[in-house]
Amino acid sequence: MEKYLQVKATNPEILEKAENGGAVTSLLKFLLESNTVEGVLNIKKEKDVYDGIPTFTTDPDELIETAGSLHCAPTMISDIIARHLKDEKIAVTTKPCDAMAIDEIIKRCGINRDNVYMIGLNCGGTVQPIVAEKMIKLFYDINPEEVVSEEINKGKFIVELADGTEKSVKIDDLEDEGYGRRENCQRCELKIPRKADVACGNWGSSKGYTFVEINTPKGEQLIQNAIDNGYIEAKEASEKQIKIRKKVENIMIKMAKKTQKKQLIKEYPDEMSEIFTRCLKCYRCRDVCPVCNCKVCSLEKPYYEEDPFAEPDPLMLHAIRMGHMAFSCINCGQCEDVCPMEIPLSKIFQKVQLKYREETGYISGVTEDKPMMYSGEKEEIVE
């Protein structure tokens, strides 16, 4: 749609607590208070900045507790919608990977797009909470428990202590030493979630404003209604601001492609069976996948079992997962994060997805049509 605005909350409490201009919290509040949605699914800080958890609220007054960005919360939310909120009218905050996963589930008929307001967040990447604690000790010489807030700005990971002291380290320096953003985030090419109704971020914005790209007519109407009802004020983004944002986006995409070449260099098929026989068959990779939501999982169908109590052998397990999921893999990396046997699942799946993209042009979570190998899942999706 190519519509860009700079948006600011009118509520001072939201402005105070929000990451940028508080557009996201204000839009969510408007959607709840106008009864446009029944609930909001987003991420909330629990114990500390390393403890961002998904939260579902129906009370607009509780939304203030969710304001602000949590960069150490790689949590995905699409499967929560498919499993628990399929029939509710809701609003969700979506990083690009959340938006891509939602898109793939919509193609499998597991989420009804009409029921969901997608409030997108641009994303330069997340940091694994445990890695964040380690790197803060090591590079910042700070007890991680003393950190009250964190942010990523101008290529630096910045932490703030209770007395207002700030310390920052360049992300490049952290990543050179194996810390910083998750490897998947470093490889991720989608930085602005244009499948969301609006995409919100700080790139290009004036201080105290959220830069909002409007992507759908539903998003446009939402912004207009929120302005008319006094929740936000908005001004046009200048040509210069739009250019700056585009430039940063392009640099980030270029860096991601470069990192893909570096991190995906291994030709796994040569050693595939050795890698996969390490598998314990704990099924964590399947359970955590934000796209994989079949009602009856093929891995549990009796015809794959040699005897009624045996699970498929590891090679069969991964062949089945790959056949079902690799073309729809959105490179969130959750499978690799949870695998106790350190199988490079996400690297293998992303390599397959990129090959599939090369052959068919299909980009998971972005292309409008269903993937060419799509079949059957329609009846299988979780109820």
Q: Can you give the binding site for ligand FAD, defined by CB under 6 A? A: 18-25, 42-43, 52, 66-71, 73, 93, 95, 121-124, 126, 152, 200-203, 210
Nearest position to ligand FAD, beta carbon: 201
Residue 115 or 298: the one with the smaller Cβ distance to ligand SF4 is 298
176, amino acid identity:
D
Q: Which two tokens stand for residue 118?
A: 């997608």
Pick the closer one to ligand FAD by CB: 65 or 220.
65
Alpha-carbon dihedral sign for residues 208, 25, 245, 262: positive
Query: Considering the complex, what minimum distance in angstroms separates the CB of residue 321 from ligand FAD?
Result: 25
Please state, in angstroms and rounded to a whole number, the distance separating the CA atoms of residues 214 and 252: 21
Q: In the complex with ligand FAD, which residue's Cβ is closer, 123 or 339?
A: 123
**Out of ligand FAD, ligand SF4, none, which partner does residue 279 contact, by CB within 5 to 8 A per kind?**
ligand SF4
**Residue 161 C-beta: closest distance to ligand FAD, Å:** 20
Q: Tokens for 195? A: 């499948």
- Among the listed residues 244, 228, 156, 202, the one whose alpha carbon sits nearest the alpha carbon of residue 21: 202
| Alpha carbon distance 266, 279 (integer Å) | 19
**Interacting residues toward ligand SF4 by CB under 6 A:** 279-285, 338-341, 343, 345
Supply the minimum distance, in Å, between the C-beta of residue 340 and ligand FAD.
Answer: 24
Closer of 19 and 377 to ligand FAD (Cβ): 19
Closest CB 24 distance from ligand FAD, rounded Å = 3
Name which of ligand SF4, ligand FAD, none residue 244 binds, using a CB cut-off of 5 to 8 Å depending on partner kind. Answer: none
> Least Å distance between CB 150 and ligand SF4?
29
d(CA 355, CA 357): 5
